[in-house]
């Protein structure tokens, strides 16, 4: 709806002169508006941009073995009664990609080619080639392919700078949604630095340019024809909510993927979380930003220093750390063996800790032991931690959370089954009885817990009885 303008009233004595002036100004205004309207009509068409960049976009098709999808009971049935493996049909998949170098180097998503036994690429001019996976990086969902037996060269896209991209900038997405080759959609950058919970390096661009299955791995172009992102995810329940990996992240991993097939990242060896107002109050801290250290990995780089749970990292090499993910991203971009300076707040005083980074290890599988239950009185069931789990976590004692009742104080605090509680109000927990005793001593007051979760740790605040905890 056009904006309504307030009328400008003129005194009656100036009516005739004012009318002439208004007529003159209106004529000048009309002349000024005519040319831009024609220009805008031309500029509103995205055809010239699409024609310039569409040749750099490719379709990616894959073939995967279906053997891994056969349930064990079905496999056993076929072996027992037929003496052979169950029949299986290969699974095919489709995605998109973008040529980033004329000799046939292509960027796509990791999930497009994950587990593929065969990869083929179809170029914009209709040619098909076999391709090999040069390297893949699950944490960023980026993979690099190389076309096999390419004759001649392919047009390559220009990589832009996602950091310089602004919310509101226009973009176009090109890909193969549902196999519809070289489909073009347009929109804007709706948001930046979106965290979806996909991993520690979440930093997605959000766009309302339509992205559908098959667009994965395709480029997001700015109005200058530069790639600013790689389409990767959508919100299935929503409309106009798509996400792309920022091209700056692609730039950072591309050289390693091409050279070694994997990405080596710096590793500090700590589990960290955001310092919330509730945690700051529970820890008696006056600061409101930083990465709270929840645990220090045994034999990790930080273990060689005096960093300890409860410390708050507020700077890295002199640059402020606002949130935990900020620290994770910056450390990950550094090379192993780099010495870094951490600004650390402990008991209200800031100090400097120097750490030589290691190489980030691959995460192992999570185990799920099931010990006996004992009521802890907080709306959760706890039990002793098995010795093998204690040895793996390098703890002495603690309690294992078995069940959390919906709506309870423990539930509002974010406790989950299989969490291991190792501290209550900064005091170590030796076992279930000690845990129950410490809870009773609080007399329904607020509790600060340190919890081991998987291979990491976190501090959680259980609100007072009858109170609430914002999450």
Q: Does domain 159-260 have CATH number 2.60.40.10?
A: no
Q: Kindly list the domain boundaries of the chain, sorted by start residue.
A: 52-147, 159-260, 266-359, 374-462
**In 3-state terms, what secondary structure has residue 51?**
helix
- The answer to whether residues 119 and 113 touch, using CB atoms and an 8 Å cutoff, is yes
Question: One of 141, 202, 222, 419 is an active-site residue; which one?
Answer: 141
How far is 184 from 181, CA to CA, in rounded Å? 9
Tell me what pLDDT residue 71 has: 60
* Token pair of 414 as six digits: 């974010």
Residue 111 among the catalytic residues? yes
- Please state the three-class secondary structure of 405-452 as a single string: CCCCHHHHHCCCCCCEEEEECCEECCCHHHHHHHHHHCCCCCEEEEEE
- The answer to whether residues 231 and 174 touch, using CB atoms and an 8 Å cutoff, is no
How far is 319 from 72, CA to CA, in rounded Å? 52
In CATH, the architecture of 266-359 is Roll (2.30)
Q: Which residues of the chain have pLDDT under 50?
A: 1-42, 363-376, 468-471
Q: Give CATH for domain 374-462.
A: 2.30.42.10
Tell me what pLDDT residue 253 has: 93
Question: One of 65, 111, 248, 408 is an active-site residue; which one?
Answer: 111
* Token pair of 408 as six digits: 């309870």
- The answer to whether residues 182 and 173 touch, using CB atoms and an 8 Å cutoff, is no
Tell me what pLDDT residue 70 has: 58
Tokens 């290890």 belong to residue: 361
* Token pair of 113 as six digits: 């080619």
**Distances from the Cα of 340 to the Cα of 263, 267, 296, 318, 323, angstroms:** 20, 11, 16, 10, 18
Tokens 């501090």 belong to residue: 459
The alpha helices in 65-198, defined as continuous H runs, are 72-82, 110-113
Residue 420: name the closest of 371, 461, 455, 453 by CA: 453
Tokens 């509680």 belong to residue: 421
CA dihedral 374, 272, 195, 328 (to 10 degrees): -150
Tell me what pLDDT residue 81 has: 64
- The answer to whether residues 54 and 221 touch, using CB atoms and an 8 Å cutoff, is no
The DSSP code for 5 is P
Number of CB atoms found within 10 A of residue 287's CB: 13
pTM listed for this prediction: 0.65
Tell me what pLDDT residue 67 has: 59
Q: Do the two domains 52-147 and 266-359 of this chain adopt the same fold?
A: no
Tokens 């607020």 belong to residue: 446
How far is 48 from 224, CA to CA, in rounded Å? 11
Phi, psi of 57 (to 5 degrees): -95, 140
As a whole number of angstroms, the longest Cα–Cα distance in the chain is 107
- The answer to whether residues 179 and 227 touch, using CB atoms and an 8 Å cutoff, is no
* Token pair of 370 as six digits: 């099931």
Question: One of 216, 252, 271, 295 is an active-site residue; which one?
Answer: 216
In CATH, the architecture of 52-147 is Beta Barrel (2.40)
């Amino acid at each position: 709806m056009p904006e309504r303008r307030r009328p400008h009233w003129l005194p009656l004595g100036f009516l005739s002169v004012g009318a002439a002036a208004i007529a003159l100004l209106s004529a000048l205004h009309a002349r000024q508006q005519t040319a831009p309207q024609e220009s805008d009509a031309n500029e509103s068409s995205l055809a010239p941009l699409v024609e310039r960049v569409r040749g750099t976009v490719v379709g990616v098709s894959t073939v995967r073995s279906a053997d891994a999808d056969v349930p064990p009971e079905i496999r056993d049935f076929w072996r027992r009664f037929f003496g052979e493996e169950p029949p299986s049909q290969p699974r095919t998949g489709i995605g998109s990609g973008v040529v980033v170098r004329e000799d046939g180097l292509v960027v796509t998503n990791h999930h497009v080619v994950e587990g593929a036994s065969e990869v083929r690429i179809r170029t914009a001019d209709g040619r098909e080639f076999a391709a090999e996976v040069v390297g893949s990086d699950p944490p960023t969902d980026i993979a690099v392919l190389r076309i096999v037996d390419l004759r001649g060269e392919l047009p390559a896209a220009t990589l832009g700078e996602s950091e310089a991209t602004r919310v509101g900038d226009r973009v176009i997405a090109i890909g193969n949604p549902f196999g519809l080759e070289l489909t073009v959609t347009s929109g804007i950058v709706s948001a930046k630095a979106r965290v979806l919970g996909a991993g520690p390096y979440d930093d997605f661009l959000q766009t309302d340019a339509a992205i559908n299955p098959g667009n994965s791995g395709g480029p997001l172009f700015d109005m200058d024809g530069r790639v600013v992102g790689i389409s990767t995810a959508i919100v299935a329940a929503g409309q106009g909510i798509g996400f792309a990996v920022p091209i700056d992240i692609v730039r950072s991993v591309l050289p390693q993927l091409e050279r070694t097939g994997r990405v080596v990242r710096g590793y500090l060896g700590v589990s960290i979380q955001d310092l919330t107002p509730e945690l700051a109050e529970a820890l008696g801290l006056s600061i409101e930003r930083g990465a709270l250290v929840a645990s220090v990995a045994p034999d990790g780089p930080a273990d060689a220093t005096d960093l300890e749970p409860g410390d708050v990292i507020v700077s890295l090499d002199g640059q402020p750390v606002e949130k935990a993910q900020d620290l994770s991203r910056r450390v990950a971009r550094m090379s192993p063996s780099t010495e870094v300076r951490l600004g650390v707040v402990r008991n209200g005083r800031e100090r400097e800790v120097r750490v030589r980074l290691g190489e980030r290890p691959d995460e192992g599988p999570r185990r799920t032991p099931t010990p006996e239950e004992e009521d802890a009185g907080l709306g959760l069931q706890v039990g002793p931690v098995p010795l093998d789990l204690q040895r793996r976590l390098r703890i002495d004692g603690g309690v294992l959370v078995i069940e959390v009742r919906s709506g309870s104080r423990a539930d509002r605090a974010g406790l989950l089954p299989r969490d291991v509680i190792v501290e209550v109000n900064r005091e170590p927990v030796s076992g279930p009885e000690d845990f129950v005793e410490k809870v009773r001593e609080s007399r329904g007051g607020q509790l600060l817990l340190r919890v081991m979760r998987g291979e990491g740790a976190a501090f959680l605040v259980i609100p007072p009885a009858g109170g609430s905890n914002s999450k």
